[in-house]
Structures are given as C-alpha cells and as structure tokens.
Chain A
Amino acid sequence: MVCVRPSVREIGPMTVDYYGIDEELSEEERLVRDNVRRFVSDRILPDIGRHYQQGTFPVELIGEFGELGLLGANLKGYGCAGMGDVAYGLAMQELEWGDSGVRSFASVQGALCMYPIHAFGSEEQKERYLPGMARGEIIGCFGLTEPDFGSNPSGMITVAERLSGGGFRLNGTKRWITNGNLAHIAIVWAKLNGKVHGFLVPTDTPGFTARKIDDKFSLRASVTSELILEDVEVGDDALLPGVSGMRGPLSCLSQARYGICWGAIGAASSCYETALAYAKDRVQFRRPIAGYQLVQNKLVHMLSEITKAQWLTLRLGRLKEAGKVRPAQISLAKRNNVAQALEIARMARDVLGANGIMYEYPVGRHMMNLETVYTYEGTHDIHTLIVGQDITGLAAFE
C-alpha cells in the first residue's frame, strides 16, 4: 500500500520531467541522476551561495567528487567509472542544477584534461596522471584561449621549441583558464614548428605563473586564471604524442561541449522549479501570481524549452554512445540549450521580482553564470557558424 507522509529527508525538488523521459533511461542512468542530485542537494547547495559571493571554488568538495566518480566518469580504465555518455551527461546536468562553476570544474578536469591524456597520451602519461585525477588528487587545467585569440584559437601565439639536449621550451600567455590557480598540471596547447601540440606542464615548473582573475560577475564559484609561460622547460615526456594540429584541442572541446548541453538543462530546471514554486506562493492583487496569464506564459515557455532540450540532448547522447555523433550536432545542442537556459534564467529572475536579485534564490546566480556558458567553449554565434558551415558547405568565419 502507498500512503505518504511529509518529508523525512530533504531530497531536493523533483527533476523536471513533463514527458516521462525517465522511462527512456536505464536503471543505471536513473541511479546516477538520483545519487548525484542528492549529493548536490546535500553537499553543494547549502554553501554555494556563499562561495559565489566570495568568489571561491568549494575546494573542500574535490575529494568527494573523486569518491563519487564524477571526474572523468565516462572514461574507461585508470580508476575512472566507465559510465555511458547519457549517464555521464545526467551527472553533468545535476551538477549544473547546483552551479555552473561546479559543473565547469568537472568538465575541465574530465573532458578537457583527462580526456586528451586518455585519448592522446602515452601509456606512461596515462598511468601517471589519470588515477590521481579521477580521485581528485591531481587537478588539471586546459590552456587554449589567449588574450588575443579566443574564437580563433588556431591563431595562437604560444610556442614550443625543441631543445637540443632533449625536451621543449614554452613561451606565451593563456587567458580565461578555468582551475588555473588550483591546477597541479596544465595542458598547454602551443605551436611546435607551426603546428599545434599539447604539452603536460606541471604548474610548479620554473617560469610558469598562474594569476587569478578576480572581479568577475559570472562563474564566481570557479577559479579563472591567466597562465604566463616564460621559458618554461619540460621534458620529452611532456608532449602528448597521439595528436597534432587543431584536431587535438577541438576533440576535447567536443567532449566538454557535450557535457555543457546537459548542464544547461540542469541550470534551466533549477530556475524553472524556483519560479514555479515562487509564483504559486506569491500573492499580488489578492491572487497567486501563477494564476495570471502572463506569468503562466513564462512558466509554460520555460517548461516547453526544457522539455525540448531534454529530448534533443538524450538523442545526442544516444548518438554519442553509438559512436555516430558529429561535432556540428553537438554545436547545435550547445547553442540551443545554453541560449534557452539563459532566457529561462532571465524569465525566472523576472518572475521572482525583487527577490530575483537576491543570493537567497539560485536564479540570479544561474543567470549570471549562464552568461559565461553562452560564451565559453565556443560562443553562441561561433556554433551558429559551425552548423551553418555544416549545412551549406560554406564557411562564414572569415
């Protein structure tokens, strides 16, 4: 028999699921979603507002991310969980339901740092770094963007030269690098004889400096840094042997963007759930504002966009699991989901009225975070151009 009494433990609000997408998921995928959600609800939400306000990343939780298996979760072997891509995506969704900065940490560690070592590293590099990175003991950062080369990273200035006695010397500046000041190891993309290569640079190497970028109004619960490399000398074993050219960093970006597609749904869901609950509670002109057509229009728009994004992204995940996904398909979803999430966050902010600008509610934080998500990992417009090129065969970048 089933009769229910009030909550014994706060498990957090339910997942937005208007079309019963739950039934399309495997048991394992549902377990991942539910356990990560509970972790986020118990361990991240209580303190994330304070971290955001103070501009700090919750470093105290990194060990727990590792224990839960959130770092490099869809990689096989080397202490990684070996989850399917949809289960991994759901984990990213739940993390970003908490905060985009927290999801960014996991994306950078797993998709931008562990993935290239896993895909392009030597056996020795994999053994040396991956198990510790999966446990959260070794933190990575990914240095591609430079002050003068953002959307056009192939123009990068950072260079590597081969030293006559073996090893390489690196010079250049990377900017907007997530985890830069937390990292033990930086994956630095640099030109060696005019061709882009990846280098694993321990951050305590002489000549390597990381400078934290403060004064941001977005992604505040995440560390963003500038990396300065001045005659940084590394051994031969620092080079990622398996790839050269822009294919290296771009394949990492595809992995991370895939996670962002899911993450954006999480942030949007948090905003929608908050706006719905608030609107039902808030009385103006003697009625809950949820009873007014204009407010319902906003709520329905949010739900509608979240539902579309869920199905779009689930299909994308199944394509990825089947090894059939094309980068432009990931671009389409990143572009759509993040833009919709940002719009939903702005609407939710509006529904909450003045309370919408308070730290007490998550919507303002999500709204500000999503401005970053809209720009990083390929701006919204750059993804438009990628899909545009894919369907017309004509590149409109230059």
Chain B
Amino acid sequence: MKILVPVKRVADPDNANKVKVSDDGTKVTSDGLEWKMNPFDEWSLEAALRLTEDVSKKGMKGDDGKPLDRIGEVVLVSIGPKDAVQTIRQGLAMGAERGILVEAEDSSLDSHVVAQVLAAVAQKENPDIVFLGKQSADGDSNVAGTKLAEMLGWPLVNYATSIRTEPGSDTLTVTRALDGGVQTIEVKMPCVLTSTDRILHPESVKNGVTPEDHKYPESEGGRYASLKGIMAAKKKPLEETTLEALGVTPKRTEEYVKFALPPAREGKATVVESVDELVEKLHSEAKVL
C-alpha cells in the first residue's frame, strides 16, 4: 500500500504571541517564528504509518538492510519554501520512506492551489490513499482534501475515526463519528481521507498484518522520532520540484485582503463565595442563565 501524506509547516501554535502582521496589514510576517508540523497532518501521518507497518517485526532488518516492519510506502509532500524541508525530515524520522518538496512562496498559495498541486503529485505518484489533515492549524479553511478528491475524481472520506483493511484488499472500512452514532463506510482505493484525533486511539487502525490485539500507546500526537530514526532520515530520498515542473498553473480563488491581530483579551476573573452567588451572577451579570 502506498500512501501520500501532505504535511504543512505551521507556526508553533504554542507561540502564537510571536505572530506579527506587517505595518500595512497586507501580510503576516514569519520572522522569528518556530515551525511545527501541522498537528492535523501529524495525526494522518501517524495513521498512514500504522497502515503500512507490521509491529511484530519492529526493529528487525532484512539481509538487504531494509526494515522488515515496513510493509508499505508513505510518501510525504510539502508545498512551501525551502525551510519546509525540516517538516518533511520530521516525518521521515518518524518512519515515512521519502519526501517531496514543491517549492512555493507561502503567500502564493490558497486551498485551491494546494489541491491543484496535490492532484498533480497524486497523478504522478499513483498512491492508494492521499491522507490529509482535516485542516491546517493556521488557515483553518478545511477544504483542500475535498477539492483534491473532486479534482482527482476519487472517493473521499472526511474525519475518519478508524480504519480497517486486509492485505491485498482494495477496500478500506472507515468509520466516522456523527452526532447520532457511528457511520461505517466502505471505500474503494484510490481514495482521499482526512482524520480526527480519534484516529490516534490505541486500536483505531487495523491493517490485517500488525497483530489484531496490538495496542498503540495513548498519545495526543504522532509517534516520537527516535534518534535512530533521525539519523536514518538523513539518508532517505527527498525530491525537490516546482509548480512549473509539475505542470501546475496556479489558479487562486481566494484573495487575502487584510490581516489584523485579534484584540487583546479583556475578561476578568471574580471569585465568588457560594454557589448561590455564582448562580445569581450568571443570571444578573453574565446574563447566560
């Protein structure tokens, strides 16, 4: 199984206070920001790694020196400036096999262009799955996956909470959590998926090879890159390409008109003495009751 996982670098959400808008309000300045892999992409990457591994052979190597626990291929693709290579390396260090950087200025991209680029890469790579994050933690647009599926004419399952498949099968059984219950979808590959954090649950991904009773550790993100993984990532192939080389003529559909920082939060905390007083205040002051 071959899975294409798009990964985006986003400003570290924990250092949001460092983000600045240029004086004329036309762009966001990225100087001095710390970059992280978009957390939503990391969830999908983790799921893709689980789909393509056999944990019973963890750490074992074949005579050719290739890891035996990898039974499929995860290809990372990032669209962005040269620095985005570091985000791809993080994914390679976590276990993906190779990476593609499509060089582009952050400011020249919108969801439509991203989907165009990914469609071109997908047509070249022919993966079984393109597994995206449901959105990026910075733009929050939430449309790239859907547009991509439309462009490719592939089936789409958004917000996957679990995935099950068998070796050799061309079908995935994917669940989604809905308000009223769980929806189970059978989807034929090739397909486009996005995920929610439930995909990180210890038993959310079953590929029919990793022992059925295996439980992944509880985690709020993808796996840690081990120091050996980081060393190995240095030697993994990383291809650099451009929009032109992919034959993409970017057609932006969004225009950013103005950026402004959110107003400083006001809000104050009041300590109340009793439940009665709290109820009273919620009623008379906060007016929520």
A joins B in a complex: yes
**Which A residues fall within an 8 A CB radius of B?**
1-14, 27-28, 30-32, 34-35, 38-39, 42, 67-70, 73, 81-83, 87, 91
B259 CB to closest chain A CB (Å) equals 7
Report yes or no: B28 in contact with A1, Cβ–Cβ below 8 A. yes
Contact residues in A for B28 (Cβ distance below 8 Å): 1-3
Flag whether B71 is at the interface (Cβ < 8 A): no
Report yes or no: B13 in contact with A27, Cβ–Cβ below 8 A. no
Residue of A nearest to B30 (CB): A2
B35 CB to closest chain A CB (Å) equals 9
Residue of B nearest to A71 (CB): B227
Report yes or no: B13 in contact with A3, Cβ–Cβ below 8 A. no
Report yes or no: A81 in contact with B13, Cβ–Cβ below 8 A. no
A91 to B13, CA, bound (A): 23
A64 CB to closest chain B CB (Å) equals 9
Report yes or no: A8 in contact with B224, Cβ–Cβ below 8 A. no
Contact residues in A for B66 (Cβ distance below 8 Å): none
Contact residues in B for A4 (Cβ distance below 8 Å): 10-11, 13, 15-16, 19, 137-138
Contact residues in A for B234 (Cβ distance below 8 Å): 28
A42 to B107, CA, bound (A): 34
A42 to B86, CA, bound (A): 22
Report yes or no: A5 in contact with B219, Cβ–Cβ below 8 A. no
B113 CB to closest chain A CB (Å) equals 12
Report yes or no: B36 in contact with A2, Cβ–Cβ below 8 A. no
B117 CB to closest chain A CB (Å) equals 16
Flag whether B221 is at the interface (Cβ < 8 A): yes
B108 CB to closest chain A CB (Å) equals 10
Contact residues in A for B85 (Cβ distance below 8 Å): 27
B111 CB to closest chain A CB (Å) equals 11
Contact residues in B for A8 (Cβ distance below 8 Å): 13, 39-40, 137
Contact residues in B for A68 (Cβ distance below 8 Å): 224, 226-227
Report yes or no: A31 in contact with B225, Cβ–Cβ below 8 A. yes
A11 to B106, CA, bound (A): 24
Contact residues in A for B139 (Cβ distance below 8 Å): 1, 3
A158 to B198, CA, bound (A): 58
Residue of B nearest to A12 (CB): B14
Known: A2-B19, A2-B30, A11-B14. A83 touches B138 (CB 8 A): no
Contact residues in B for A31 (Cβ distance below 8 Å): 86, 89-90, 93, 225, 230, 233
Residue of A nearest to B232 (CB): A81
B1 CB to closest chain A CB (Å) equals 25
Report yes or no: A38 in contact with B224, Cβ–Cβ below 8 A. yes
A397 to B12, CA, bound (A): 51
Residue of A nearest to B218 (CB): A42
Report yes or no: B219 in contact with A42, Cβ–Cβ below 8 A. yes
Report yes or no: B227 in contact with A81, Cβ–Cβ below 8 A. yes
Apart from A9-B13, A9-B39, A34-B90, 9 more pairs, CB < 8 Å: A2-B10, A4-B10, A11-B14, A27-B85, A28-B234, A31-B90, A31-B93, A42-B219, A42-B220
Report yes or no: B14 in contact with A10, Cβ–Cβ below 8 A. yes
Q: Mark B68-91, 1 if CB is under 8 A from A, else 0.
A: 000000000000000001100110
Q: Mark B224-261, 1 if CB is under 8 A from A, else 0.
A: 11111111011000000000000000000000100100
A325 CB to closest chain B CB (Å) equals 21
Contact residues in B for A13 (Cβ distance below 8 Å): 14
B194 CB to closest chain A CB (Å) equals 15
Flag whether B128 is at the interface (Cβ < 8 A): no
A10 to B36, CA, bound (A): 12
Known: A8-B39, A9-B221, A31-B230. A3 touches B93 (CB 8 A): no
Flag whether B140 is at the interface (Cβ < 8 A): yes
Q: Mark B39-71, 1 if CB is under 8 A from A, else 0.
A: 110000000000000000000000000000000
Most B CB within 10 A of own CB, among A2, A14, A27, A73: A2
Report yes or no: A5 in contact with B226, Cβ–Cβ below 8 A. no
A78 CB to closest chain B CB (Å) equals 12
Report yes or no: A69 in contact with B14, Cβ–Cβ below 8 A. no
Flag whether B33 is at the interface (Cβ < 8 A): yes
Most A CB within 10 A of own CB, among B27, B89, B93, B225: B225
Contact residues in B for A73 (Cβ distance below 8 Å): 227
A308 to B246, CA, bound (A): 47
Contact residues in B for A91 (Cβ distance below 8 Å): 227
Flag whether B103 is at the interface (Cβ < 8 A): no
Flag whether B34 is at the interface (Cβ < 8 A): yes
Most B CB within 10 A of own CB, among A4, A68, A81: A4
B106 CB to closest chain A CB (Å) equals 6
Residue of B nearest to A69 (CB): B227
Residue of B nearest to A4 (CB): B16
